[in-house]
Amino acid sequence: MYSRKVIQKFEETLNNPQAHNVGRMDAQAKNVGTGMVGAPACGDVMRLQIEVNDKEVITDCKFKTYGCGSAIASSQQMIEMLIGKTLEEAKNIKDREIAEILELPSIKIHCSVLAEDSIKKAIADYESKKA
Amino acid sequence: MKSNLVYFDYASTTPVDQRVAEKMHECLLLDGNFGNPASRSHEFGWKADEAVEKARLHVANLVKADSREIVWTSGATESDNLAIKGAARFYKDRGNHIITSKIEHKAVLDPCRQLEREGFEITYLDPDENGVVSLENIKKHVKDTTILISIMHINNELGAVNDIEEIGKFTRENNIIFHVDAAQSTGKLPIDLSKLDVDLMSFSGHKTYGPKGIGALYVSRKPRVRLEALIHGGGHERGFRSGTLPTHQIVGMGEAFRIAADEMDKDNKKIAKLADLFWKEVSGIEEIYLNGSFKNKIPNITNISFAYIEGESLIMALKDVAVSSGSACTSASLEPSYVLRALGRADELAHSSIRFSFGRFTTEKEVKMVAETTKRVVHQLRELSPLWDMFKDGVDLEKVEWVTH
């Protein structure tokens, strides 16, 4: 039922997590924003962390995701899209783009929605520390 | 089929046994036994009828019934429908209350829902934490208007076994029709309908190395149980189920059940050994939960929740292994397994569940391979799981305020 892209992203992440930004950062650090969305009872939880430099550019990301294969692939796709973007650019990433790139079946669209939500939460967390 | 794929989903369906396939082949071609068993005017019909009756005997023998008590259907789903809707509608003047359990197969639950729309009152009983429906619970809910009780023999997700002997005694004493869905039982547990107080019992061909598309319903003659037919037509199967009998399917199911009677002990010994080996290999994994209980389940099914991992991702990671999951993500409805939820398992453990089911053709090599792969990918997926991090950090996940979507 999944596209080759979902399967490929899932397997890459599973087999080589370090190379695919799996991990965590110090959530207390000033230059780190953390966004965790979803709930165990719903079957998916995504935790995204972004590292931001003085120019408000995302220089690195780490994530961990509990969820189905497409949730893990969506997280991975989101990371690829985030690194190097400014916060303003990152805010404009839409769940639809992730869904289209991964060719998610309609029943799995919530996975990409979760990814977009985690970006928004991570940025909000970073900005709240700055304020 | 890719040869490196391992099939651990025997509770879903089984391959047809080679000996069954050969018997079926004999009933298809011009020079074979292709006739209509209902044709009374020529040899082709007589021969087909003879094969159908022989198969009926094989099915009856496995469950110690009289062959006149076996009605062919298209499968256990149809048998369940015929038993439940057929009995309820026939006996509706006696009362309108039916008791079943929350962990029945959909083939029982959905006909019950239909009967609710027709004005029947249905009680859906909770099983205990191991998936067993107790007689005490049934007694508590019986009313003067109870006409039918439908309880499965072996649960398809857990392998949990209900005490149908004890329930049957009670229903017989109280003049309540007792239906048992035994789709998962044949060839796994001995069934003796000459002793059991069961009125109606559903069987499936394809769960016992027979073909798909064929099943049977046992309809007791002593005491005589009557049903309102669902399918009307030529009056086949004594009016219980019209439609030309599919000789090749019937012969297939008959042969499969004949083999099951002969080889049940051998199959069971082997499968019990393999199930023990599998559990020995995987039970060292941290934070796993057996769904059901070893005390009261068949070894064919091992259902495990792997905490902090979502079941569908585990299935994807176990890519060369065919298993099924209670995860919402593997169902069209996005709801986690209603069976596990009925046991009182938290939703997250239902999402994390995998059913491994073994069968006649499972090998020790496969069991070892799947156990190894499971250990590896569970570790890998937990490395990816924020919940595993939190668990290891000592965070109480119950107390976290989750942002649901």
Question: A57 vs B404, which has greater pLDDT?
Answer: A57
Amino acid making up residue B218? Y
CA distances to A75, B121, B181 from B126, rounded to whole Å, are 39, 16, 17
Q: Looking at residue B345, what is its pLDDT?
A: 87
Residues of A with CB under 8 A from a CB of B: 2, 7, 10-11, 13-15, 17, 22, 24, 36-47, 64-69, 71-72, 107-108, 110, 113-114, 117, 121
Confirm or reject contact between B5 and chain A (CB < 8 A).
Answer: no
End-to-end CA distance of chain A: 45
Write the DSSP string, chain A: ---HHHHHHHHHHHH-TGGGTBS---TTSTTEEEEEEEEGGGTEEEEEEEEE-TTSBEEEEEEEEES-HHHHHHHHHHHHHHTT-BHHHHHT--HHHHHHHHT--GGGHHHHHHHHHHHHHHHHHHHHHH-
- ipTM at complex level: 0.95
C-beta atoms of B386 and A64 within 8 A: yes
A114–B405 C-beta distance less than 8 A: yes
Contact B383 A10 (CB under 8 A): no
- Look at B403 and B59; give whichever has higher pLDDT: B59
pLDDT of residue A42: 86
**Position A109 confidence tier, pLDDT thresholds 50, 70, 90:** confident
Q: pLDDT tens for residues B77-123?
A: 999 999 999 999 999 999 999 999 999 999 999 999 999 999 999 99
| pLDDT grade for B401, boundaries at 50, 70 and 90 | confident
Taking contacts as CB-CB distances below 8 angstroms, the residues of chain A near B336 are 43
**B interface test, pick of A34, A66, A113 with most B CB neighbours within 10 Å:** A66
pLDDT of residue A112: 87
Distance from CA of B104 to the nearest CA of A (A): 23
Q: What percent of chain B has pLDDT over 70?
A: 97
B335 to chain A: closest CA residue: A42
Q: Which residues, other chains included, contact B88 with Cβ-Cβ below 8 Å and sequence gap of 6+?
A: B98, B115, B120, B147, B148
Does the structure show a pLDDT above 70 at B57? yes
Question: What is the per-residue pLDDT for A2?
Answer: 82
* More confident call, A3 vs B380: B380
Please state the rounded mean pLDDT for residues B298-317. Answer: 95
Residues of B in contact with A108 (CB under 8 A): 329
A120: pLDDT strictly greater than 80: yes
Rg of chain A over Cα atoms, rounded to whole angstroms, equals 14
Helix (H) or strand (E) holding B132: none
Residue B258 backbone phi and psi in degrees, to 5:
-60, -45
pLDDT of residue A72: 94
Q: In whole angstroms, what is the distance from residue A95 CA to residue B144 CA?
A: 57
Strands of the sheet containing B215-219, edge to edge, are B70-73, B215-219, B200-204, B177-181, B146-150, B97-101, B121-125
Specify the pLDDT at position B329.
67
Contact B347 A41 (CB under 8 A): yes
A38:B402 CB<8 A: yes
DSSP state of B15: P
Are A15 and B380 in contact (CB < 8 Å)?
yes
Model pTM greater than 0.80? Answer: yes
Of the candidates B313, B328, B386, which has its C-beta nearest A45's C-beta? B386
Q: Which pLDDT band holds residue B332 (cuts at 50, 70, 90)?
A: low
Cβ–Cβ pairs < 8 A, chains A and B: 102
Least Cα separation, residue A55 to chain B (angstroms): 29
Q: What's the mean per-residue pLDDT of chain B?
A: 95
Please say if the pLDDT value at position A10 is more than 80.
yes
Whole-number pLDDT of residue B174 = 97
Instruction: Spell out the residues 6+ positions from residue A84 whose beta carbon is closer than 8 angstroms to its own.
Output: A57, A58, A59
pLDDT score, position B2: 60
State what percent of residues in chain A have pLDDT above 90.
Answer: 85
**Collapsed DSSP state (helix, strand, coil) of residue B390:** helix
CB < 8 Å to B377, chain A: 14
Confidence check: pLDDT of A79 > 70: yes
CB contact under 8 A, A107 and B386: no
For residue B301, what is the enclosing H or E element? strand B301-306
Do A14 and B380 lie within an 8 Å CB cutoff?
yes
Q: Which residues of B are catalytic?
A: 329
In this predicted structure, the answer to whether residue B333 has a pLDDT above a threshold of 80 is: no
In 3D space, the residue among B119, B129, B182, B120 whose CA is nearest the CA of residue B151 turns out to be B182
Confidence of residue B330 (pLDDT cuts 50, 70, 90): low
CA distances from B106 to A74, B109, B152, B195 (A): 33, 5, 11, 28
Query: What is the distance in angstroms between the CA of the first residue and the CA of the last residue of chain B?
Result: 39
